[in-house]
Structure 1
Amino acid sequence: MAVDPGAEVHASAIIEDGAVIEAGVTIGPFCHIGPKVVLRRGVRLMSHVVVQGITEIGEDTLVHPFAVLGGIPQDKKFKGEETTLTVGKRNRIREHVTMNTGTEGGGGVTRVGDDGLFMAGCHIAHDCILGNNVIVVNNAALAGHCIIDDEVIIGGLSGVHQFVRIGRGAIIGAVTMVTNDVIPHGLVQAPRGHLDGLNLVGLKRRGVARSDITALRAAFQMLAQGEGAFQDRARRLGEETESDYVREIVDFVTGASDRSFLTPGKG
């Protein structure tokens, strides 16, 4: 066990031999830290937090009571192999959040980026890869192997099917089941997940230029109503557009995926 003298550890907390606790870490009452855990500078565990497995929590991350980070995957194929969970900097992890380590078959790592907000009761399953500034609202759940890009918002009580990709800046409405990939900046809602437009509010809040928003609107209309298959429409967009935001959608649609896509007006 390597606990920096600058860390503050409550007398009731259990830190197993082998754990690394850096300066400025605060570990509250009744927390349990496993032997292969690394808590980087400024991490704060409020109370009753369990961190186990091969798990690293990034600087200045705040974890609220009863969160369990680094638990083994909820996957019957998991046979006890050593896999990891890596959580980035400045995340806010609320009560009863669960994040599992990866599986050998899925690459061996679950990775969470920086500056995320994970609200009470949400679940991040094995082998998920999350970008920066992601928000997962209360009781939403990501199944295994999902890829969630930067600035995505997933509404409360929503579920994301395994292997689904959600592109940058997309927003998923509350109580929505997402079974197919979601284009960057898409707006998805309804119980079975319909692509209903663009996340215009998010684009405006991030200060995206009006010209890019106009280009995105036109691109969405072409994807919704143009001739040919969805991927064919996207390829034609790529030949015509000068907008980096539209190009982002084109690259997402024409890239490799294990799923089909949510398309406009179709779940």
Structure 2
Amino acid sequence: MAAIHPTALIDPAAELAADVAVGPYAVIGPHVRIGAGSRIGAHCVIEGRTSIGPGNRIFQFASIGAAPQDKKYAGEPTRLEIGAGNTIREFVTINTGTVQDVGVTRLGDDNWIMAYVHIAHDCQLGSHTILANAVQLAGHVHIGDWAVIGGITGVHQYVRVGAHAMAGFQTRLSQDLPPFITASGNPAAAQGINVEGLRRRGFSPERIAAIKHMYRLIYRQGLPLDAARQAIQAQSASGDADMAADARLMLGFLASASRGIVR
């Protein structure tokens, strides 16, 4: 049987795997599904059409699956989907999606979401991200795999953060942050590439050097963005599969940067 504290309020229609643990005074609504091995802390409220995968740890006082903070929301059956193995700390708030976008807010796997983070409607988080304390994501934000967002950082609606990018403490992101790039400041400015993060993930020195070359093309050689993209296009034809994939990742991101990029 699931380890349910007697003071928890679980709607009979909710679907909880047999070994889910639920702490005191938690409230779980009728459209919630929670996967095996997940643990729900005291006083958490999980509502809406929310699906939580296996092995998640949600700490006390989190609010998961509440209606979007969007005046256009009219009660449509939008959703929240959370993958596997995520850590969601105290007082985190995550809202469902809206019909003005894809109708679902998504988190991948193995994300580390620290206290007081807000993830608004229609945000799309990849896997292995870190959102430090009090990060605030507005609606429709996209965060790529392995991205790191420093504490008390605000991210404007519709902004995208590329894979392996990093935003420093108290950064204001109002434009897209390309993959691999480190930025900080108010407003954000590019500071280099996320070298330490790439090393920790097993990127070779040669691969890191190729990413540094892309950074110089975009930020240090005074090229128009189209010219930098053409130079990176040549790099995408590299014989090394990983370097070519990194270049394609950068090119795809730049091609779809509708808000412009952090400079």
Q: Shorter-chain TM-score: which interval?
A: over 0.9
Q: Which sections of structure 1, spanning at least 5 residues, go unmatched?
A: 1-5
User: Secondary structure in 1 aligned to 2:146?
Assistant: coil
1:245 alignment counterpart: 246
TM superposition score normalised by structure 1: 0.93
User: Secondary structure in 1 aligned to 2:100?
Assistant: helix
1:3 alignment counterpart: none
Q: How many residues align?
A: 257
Residues 235 and 250 of structure 1 are in contact (CA less than 8 Å); yes or no, is this contact kept in structure 2? Answer: no
**What pairs with 1:5-20 in structure 2 (closer than 5 Å)?**
6-20=1-15
Residues 19 and 35 of structure 1 are in contact (CA less than 8 Å); yes or no, is this contact kept in structure 2? Answer: yes
Moved more, 237-246 or 7-16: 237-246
1:224 alignment counterpart: 219
1:83 aligns with 2:43: no
Paired with 1:127 and 1:232, the residues of 2 have a C-alpha distance of 33
- 2:47 equivalent among 44, 47, 52: 52
1:192, CA displacement in angstroms? 1.1
Q: Which amino acid aligns with 1:246?
A: A
Paired with 2:145 and 2:160, the residues of 1 have a C-alpha distance of 12
- 2:138 equivalent among 109, 131, 143: 143
Q: Which amino acid aligns with 2:258?
A: D
User: Secondary structure in 1 aligned to 2:182?
Assistant: strand
1:227, CA displacement in angstroms? 5.3
Q: Which amino acid aligns with 1:92?
A: T
Q: Which amino acid aligns with 1:79?
A: A
Q: Which amino acid aligns with 1:20?
A: E
Q: Which amino acid aligns with 1:7?
A: A
**What pairs with 1:41-120 in structure 2 (closer than 5 Å)?**
41-120=36-115
User: Secondary structure in 1 aligned to 2:158?
Assistant: coil
2:260 alignment counterpart: 260
Runs of 4+ in structure 1 deviating by more than 4 angstroms, as ranges, are none
Paired with 1:202 and 1:228, the residues of 2 have a C-alpha distance of 27
Moved more, 46-55 or 230-239: 230-239
1:200, CA displacement in angstroms? 0.5
Q: Which sections of structure 2, spanning at least 5 residues, go unmatched?
A: none
Paired with 2:37 and 2:230, the residues of 1 have a C-alpha distance of 46
Paired with 2:99 and 2:6, the residues of 1 have a C-alpha distance of 37
**What pairs with 1:186-205 in structure 2 (closer than 5 Å)?**
186-205=181-200
Residues 227 and 233 of structure 1 are in contact (CA less than 8 Å); yes or no, is this contact kept in structure 2? Answer: no
Paired with 2:185 and 2:221, the residues of 1 have a C-alpha distance of 24
Q: Which amino acid aligns with 2:260?
A: S
1:33 alignment counterpart: 28
RMSD (Å) for aligned C-alpha atoms:
1.2
Deviation digits for residues 101-145 of structure 1, max 9, x if unmatched? Answer: 000001100000000111000010000000000111000111100
- 2:159 equivalent among 159, 164, 189: 164
Moved more, 38-47 or 96-105: 38-47
